[in-house]
Amino acid sequence: MRYRREYIAGGCYFFTVVTARRRRLLAHPEALSLLRDALRHVRRHHAFQIDAMVVLPDHLHCIWTLPRDDDDFSLRWQLIKRYYHKHTAAEKPCWQKRFWEHHILDDADYRNHVDYIHYNPVRHGYVLQPGQWPHSSFRRFVRRGFYTPDWGGADPRIPPGVGRE
């Protein structure tokens, strides 16, 4: 059976994007800066909203909302990866060819994936609480009242199957 992506104009999607051979490419400040530049560059030409995001040394997770009249998240990822590849001094290739996406179905699904994103650094053993990880939208969610600052210090009970590595 062949995998088929679900393209929905104005859709909200959870993504997992992994570095090639799981290299710790994103562990360096220059790499994080370049990733930010790539995202900014592509957003200028192909709008999308980054709702939540976490960047770990060898992968990232994020939730995007696309414009109402646009469904092409694949083009955006292609352009982000290409920009990064073109501007980095890192060993090539930088990224796995594919990425994983999930169309967010409803508010509960959104909440579960936001939780998954923010708890991911704890899950991988980088920190003890999500608020300790610097490369995450967690603090923005705390400021908005979505979380308390100490959320995730114990297992936040993320449902099985939410998110994907």
Give the DSSP letter of residue 92.
S
How many C-beta atoms lie closer than 10 Å to residue 44's C-beta? 8
pTM: predicted TM-score of the whole model, two decimal places: 0.92
HSE-up of 110 (CA within 13 Å, CB side)?
Answer: 11
- C-alpha distance from residue 129 to each of 27, 43, 118, 164, 165 (Å): 19, 30, 9, 20, 20
In a domain, 70, yes or no: yes
Instruction: Give CA–CA dist 95/29, Å, rounded.
Output: 17
Q: Which domain holds residue 129?
A: 12-143
pLDDT at 160 over 80: no
In a domain, 149, yes or no: no
Tens digits of per-residue pLDDT, 143-156? 999 999 989 886 66
In a domain, 91, yes or no: yes
The domain tally of the chain equals: 1
In a domain, 139, yes or no: yes
In a domain, 112, yes or no: yes
Tens digits of per-residue pLDDT, 43-81? 999 999 999 999 999 999 999 999 999 999 999 999 999
Q: Which residue has the higher pLDDT, 18 or 152?
A: 18
Instruction: Give CA–CA dist 136/55, Å, rounded.
Output: 6
In 71-145, alpha helices (H): 73-87, 107-123, 138-143
Which residue type does 9 have?
Answer: A
